[in-house]
Amino acid sequence: MNHPNLDYVRIFDTTLRDGEQCPGAAMSENEKIEIALHLAQMNVDVIEAGFPVSSPVQFQAVERISREVEGPTIAALARAVRGDIEAAAKAILPAKKKRIHTFLASSPIHMKYKLGKEPSEVLKMAVEAVRICREFVEDVEFSPEDATRSEKEFLRELCEAVIEAGATTVNIPDTVGYTTPYEYGELFSYLISKVAGSNKAIFSAHCHNDLGLATANSLAAIRNGARQVECTVNGIGERAGNTAMEEVIMSLRTRKDTFGVQTRIKTEEIAKASYLVKTITGMVVQPNKAIVGANAFAHESGIHQDGVLKNRETYEIMTPESVGIHSNRMVLGRHSGRAGFKDRIVRLGFSPQAEELEAAYQRFLEIADRKKEVFDEDIRALFADESRKSAEDKYVLESFHVTTGTKSTPTASIRISIQGKTKEESATGDGPVDSIFKAIQKATISDAQLSRLVISPVTEGQDALAEASVTLEKDGERVVGKGSSTDIIEACSQAYISALNRFSLS
């Protein structure tokens, strides 16, 4: 299989697999579908949907994505053993375009201490794994794990052997974020020029960000012949994370004079993808994060503001619109009608059902009564909240009351509907949030443990909308709930209730 078409870089998104391995980033099956559908809308080339053999839940999610998401190739991860490969093949069977991604460690330290194998044994295992994959699919990717700490000659021999066995993509992972751009680029140049049959496979870059070099390393690989980059939305992933998809895409677009190669991504969908992953996982994006951070297109310096007003190119190397951010934002208020609200929702990339739109509009009116101005970010947050609510929700917070002060014990009282029946409870705590969480626990008789609470402002100012993310754990299962309100206590309460509802539906 020859690959004459090397004029574009394939985007292999592993948000749902490697990204989900980030502590606290667990996603429900429906949330994975939601992200996968948006990745397809972005025109991502490959979605790595998961690791099917790892659990029945993983298998089911991969199978459902394969069945419901069209456009991208759907990939499943498998160790270099028949059982893993068969599970992966079965999970991706419904997909119109399918790939099995198998891997095996190749560095001396991994082969000796993790595998307990000699290089010759690893070589045979890798070839056999690729051959088994080819029994099920034509599109096979092989990854020599910890490639950047592997011996170059053995890595060359291994790549050559798996291509001969039928691998169509060879991925060179920087598994522990160890390499530097110069070294990584040189490695790709060496392999592509020295591996017999290298023209029969696409070479791929997969970098981790332990030294903060993941994007730079990936771009160096592209400069030296890599034509696939494995990455995640917002750069989420294990430890310091993976290569950030948005950074690679916009680097290639902005510096096409340097790289001379592009992706096929609809960049205008980047901002929504970032927001979607942030709200679903509860992983907050730092304000100064490149491309998608809140400050990415903000100008506070007087000199910068003056320059941008005269000519945007003085201080902006890309436009906010190019990543899906509307710089000329429409500010809505309490007098805005349904038409204006719906127009803004659609412009922000949502496709609301009538019931979702009405519920979100009513929430908008509540917020508009508390805020002077309601911005795009506020609307995006409240609509995301409403669209995830379900008629199947077991718990609905009807009202709450909190008293607190410097010389008084924080006390919370709540009224909550449990499957249609109202229950009231009260509790004290170390603070107002702790007291209301304890009141909810008493009312729901929940033994779930709070492992993480993140509160972040959606917009600026004293009347800013706050977003809360609550992570609960019970019996080895972890769920994340989200809530937003101009009242931080209400946002936290809604997030806690949201997480409990996820437990009840699992």
- Where is the binding site for Mn(2+), in residues? 18, 206, 208, 242
Q: What are phi and psi of 261, to 5 degrees?
A: -150, 145
Q: What is the dihedral of CA 212, 51, 48, 138, to 10 degrees?
A: 130
Both tokens assigned to 284: 């907050």
Q: What angle do CA 193, 196, 197 make, to 5 degrees?
A: 100
CA neighbor of 365 nearest in space, from 377, 353, 350, 379: 379
From residue 34, give the alpha-carbon distance in Å to each of 52, 133, 163. Answer: 19, 28, 35
Return d(Cα 252, Cα 45) in angstroms, integer.
16
Directed axis angle between helix 56-68 and helix 29-42, to 10°? 40
Residues 6+ apart with CB under 8 A from 222: 9, 205, 229, 248, 252, 259, 261
What pairing do the DSSP bridges indicate for beta strands 10-13 and 228-231?
Answer: parallel
Directed axis angle between helix 245-254 and helix 270-281, to 10°? 170
What pairing do the DSSP bridges indicate for beta strands 408-418 and 421-428?
Answer: antiparallel
Return d(Cα 115, Cα 365) in angstroms, integer.
60
Would you give the distance in Å from CA 114 to the centre of its chain? 29
CB-side exposure of 101: number of CA atoms within 13 Å?
Answer: 28
Return d(Cα 272, Cα 280) in angstroms, integer.
12
Contact 290, 244 (CB under 8 A): yes
Three-class SS of residue 176? coil
From residue 362, give the alpha-carbon distance in Å to each of 10, 291, 336. Answer: 42, 32, 12
CB-side exposure of 321: number of CA atoms within 13 Å?
Answer: 5
What pairing do the DSSP bridges indicate for beta strands 140-145 and 98-105?
Answer: parallel
Annotated binding site: 18, 206, 208, 242
Question: What is the Cα gyration radius of the chain?
Answer: 25
Both tokens assigned to 346: 């659609």
Would you give the distance in Å from CA 145 to the centre of its chain? 22
From residue 126, give the alpha-carbon distance in Å to each of 20, 80, 283, 293. Answer: 26, 6, 35, 41
CA neighbor of 45 nearest in space, from 138, 132, 139: 139
